[in-house]
Amino acid sequence: SIAILLYLVRKFKTPDHWYPSDLQKRARVDEYLSWQHVNIRGKGSKLFLTKVLLPLLTGQPLPPEKLEGVTEELNIVLKQFEEKFLQDKPFIAGSEISLADLVALVELMQPVGAGYDLFEERPKLAEWRGRVEEAVGKQLFQEAHEGILNAKNL
């Protein structure tokens, strides 16, 4: 949860870029962390549930029109994310990675794990993903997402 991440940042005095002491940068991180719950998390999780878990539980595929609606909801918030949060910056809070970037990419991996490559036709989003992966380490990133990326094989 966001609360535990903020607790860990404070307790272990992590490098400043994760949760910047600069008030404007911190405000950008806080703004994203408050926005993402019902937007990126909400719509990404809904697509994952609709495309992977519900068919697994019911034994029935979902009607294509239902899946299209859920996908469109996610596409709307992805556009907002690119326009309002990424803009033309390398990361959400500016030139360095922060908790906002980490939380955002983790949430976006759920739809990817459901087989929806949301980075494919979004070069800005794909480039940002590459920067986040590079910042945390590609191997660590892959290890952390191994389970979700294999969920569509259930």
Structure confidence by residue, pLDDT tens digits, 14-71? 999 999 999 999 999 999 999 999 999 999 999 999 998 888 889 988 888 999 999 9
Predicted pLDDT of residue 23:
97
Predicted pLDDT of residue 1:
86
Structure confidence by residue, pLDDT tens digits, 63-95? 889 999 999 999 999 999 999 999 999 999 999
Domain-wise residue ranges, the chain: 1-150
CA 52 – CA 65 distance, rounded (Å): 16
- The whole-model pTM stands at 0.91
Predicted pLDDT of residue 28:
97
Q: Is residue 154 within 8 Å of residue 56, measured between CB atoms?
A: yes
Residues 6 or more apart whose Cβ sits within 8 Å of residue 18: 9, 97, 98, 99, 102
Gap between the terminal Cα atoms of the chain? 26
Mean pLDDT of the chain: 94
Predicted pLDDT of residue 150:
82
Dihedral angle sign, alpha carbons of residues 35, 74, 43, 133: negative
Predicted pLDDT of residue 152:
65
User: Does domain 1-150 bear CATH number 2.60.40.420?
Assistant: no
4-12: average pLDDT: 94
Q: Is residue 19 within 8 Å of residue 98, measured between CB atoms?
A: yes
